[in-house]
Amino acid sequence: MSSTAADVVRLLTVKGETLAVAESLTGGMVASALTAVPGASKAFRGSVTAYATALKHELLGVDAALLEECGAVDPQVAAQMAAGVRRALGADWGIATTGVAGPDPQDGRPVGTVFIAVDGPLGAHSVSAGGGKVEALRLNGDRAEIRMESVRSVLGLLLRELAGEQTGNERAQDTEQNGGF
């Protein structure tokens, strides 16, 4: 995981971009992984650990009706958390985790149900229209394993988005240099 966090920090630093994190089930573990990387302060803006459902609305701007209808463990909630923390902390990128680490189900979702999200610049190559992407995870293991895998997964998702954006830009430059073909 630490190498993924280091790769994320390196890519963000090279690109001159910043990151904000919104966490629920991971309780600050994503921020901890990022800040363990030397030089993280060049790219990491901060984080919001919105463990209580009400805070997802109050601090991150997640739609209250969505939370009431679907609960906190929902793909749209994850997407809104990522967009909300990005906006609230003034970052180029926002990532979010929400899910059920156990020991009991939550909001009708079984233990191991996790949603991770990334929200990036609107012009990002591989982030869908609207700037965001969400992945659903179904994780096995105990509470600690589910939380650790959620951290690995959200950092991996961001790394793929950052690398995809970089690859897309390089391809665009190659196309221009090769006469548009």
pLDDT in tens, 14-72: 999 999 999 999 999 999 999 999 999 999 999 999 999 999 999 999 999 999 999 99
The answer to the question of residue 82 being in a domain is yes
SS3 assignment, position 1: coil
The answer to the question of residue 45 being in a domain is yes
Q: Tell me the C-alpha distance between 166 and 168, whole Å.
A: 5
Which ranges in the chain belong to alpha helices (H)?
A: 2-15, 29-35, 53-58, 64-70, 75-89, 143-177
Tell me: pLDDT of 104 over 50. yes
Q: How many domains does the chain have?
A: 1
The answer to the question of residue 177 being in a domain is no
The answer to the question of residue 174 being in a domain is no
The answer to the question of residue 173 being in a domain is no
Q: Tell me the C-alpha distance between 76 and 51, whole Å.
A: 16
Containing structural domain, residue 25: 2-168
The answer to the question of residue 181 being in a domain is no
Long-range pairs for 63-71: beta carbons < 8 A, 24 or more residues apart: 70/107, 71/106, 71/107, 71/108, 71/109
- pLDDT (0 to 100) of residue 131: 62
The answer to the question of residue 132 being in a domain is yes
The CATH code of the domain that includes 22 is 3.90.950.20
Q: Tell me the C-alpha distance between 6 and 40, whole Å.
A: 8
pLDDT bracket for residue 122 (50, 70, 90): low
The answer to the question of residue 179 being in a domain is no
- pLDDT (0 to 100) of residue 143: 97
Structure tokens belonging to residue 74: 């929902």
Cα–Cα distances in Å, from 133 out to 14, 151, 156, 174? 22, 16, 13, 27
- pLDDT (0 to 100) of residue 74: 97
DSSP 109: B
pLDDT tens, position by position, 55-68: 999 999 999 999 99
